[in-house]
Amino acid sequence: MSDTSLKHLAIIMDGNGRWAKERGFKRTKGHEVGAETIRDITTYCAKHAEIETATFYAFSTENWKRPKLEVDFLMKLLEKYLKNELQTYMDNGIRFQAIGDIYAFSTSLQSRIKQTEELTQNNTNLTQVLALNYGGRAEITSAVNALIQEGKQVLSEEDISGALQTPYTDIDLLIRTSGEERISNFLLWQISYSELYFSPTLWPDFSAQELEEIINNYKNRSRRFGGVTC
């Protein structure tokens, strides 16, 4: 029997803009509803018997290329989200952590991120990780450079894994919503043997019920990690 335990779930949240456009709304409305979906999915994960970490791709290093008005809105939405969700984190035993280069954000947003990390650090039901101004290649490059600065001349996989911002467990299951079937520079090192699932559902419409169905699908897969099964 292959190992289909599910400790680390990762999600590329895609489709907010298309969801809004289909309904005649501004793109910002899709992001607002999408933030509510993050809450629902995170709460579900906190109650799941196996899931220890849920990592969400919230803002990539490439997202700065979007119109300034949309980027500014996303920054304000993120700060509002963290403020409003603090009680949800505490009520559900959720620890919050951010990965990525948060120093590109405003001092106010940086402060909110760090404060939320500190206030939730003792919660143990789930670690919710938001990838913010994050890129997989940038994370690996930063890890290698840090090891070189430490004096390392020959690097092992264990060295690099330990120097990443996400030195938890490898990703067991990666989900992308909206029907797009690509990784988009997300957790490139950690998904080497992840199971992938591409949902046609736009992120604002994604639900805990669909996530449960995807997990059931995952449980019926055969994970071989490069080997064979009888």
Active site residue 63: yes
DSSP sequence for 8-63? EEEEE---HHHHHHHTT--HHHHHHHHHHHHHHHHHHHHHSSS--EEEEEEEEGGG
End-to-end CA distance of the chain: 9
For 203-219, what is each residue's pLDDT tens digit?
Answer: 999 999 999 999 999 99
Taking residues 24-33, report their average pLDDT: 96
Cross-strand bridge partners of residue 59:
132
pLDDT higher than threshold 90 for residue 227: no
pLDDT higher than threshold 90 for residue 225: no
**pLDDT bracket for residue 167 (50, 70, 90):** low
**pLDDT bracket for residue 230 (50, 70, 90):** very low
Residue among 40, 63, 101, 125 flagged as catalytic: 63
For 87-103, what is each residue's pLDDT tens digit?
Answer: 999 999 999 999 999 99
Please tell me the predicted confidence (pLDDT) of residue 2. 62
**pLDDT bracket for residue 4 (50, 70, 90):** confident
Residue among 3, 14, 91, 159 flagged as catalytic: 14
For 56-90, what is each residue's pLDDT tens digit?
Answer: 999 999 999 999 999 999 999 999 999 999 999 99
Active site residue 14: yes
Please tell me the predicted confidence (pLDDT) of residue 1. 43
Please tell me the predicted confidence (pLDDT) of residue 224. 65
Contact 131, 59 (CB under 8 A): yes
Please tell me the predicted confidence (pLDDT) of residue 223. 72
Q: Cα angle vertex 188, ends 229, 191, to 5°?
A: 25
Residue 183: other Cβ atoms inside 10 A: 16
Please tell me the predicted confidence (pLDDT) of residue 222. 76
For 31-45, what is each residue's pLDDT tens digit?
Answer: 999 999 999 999 999
Q: CA 127, CA 124: separation in Å to the nearest integer?
A: 7
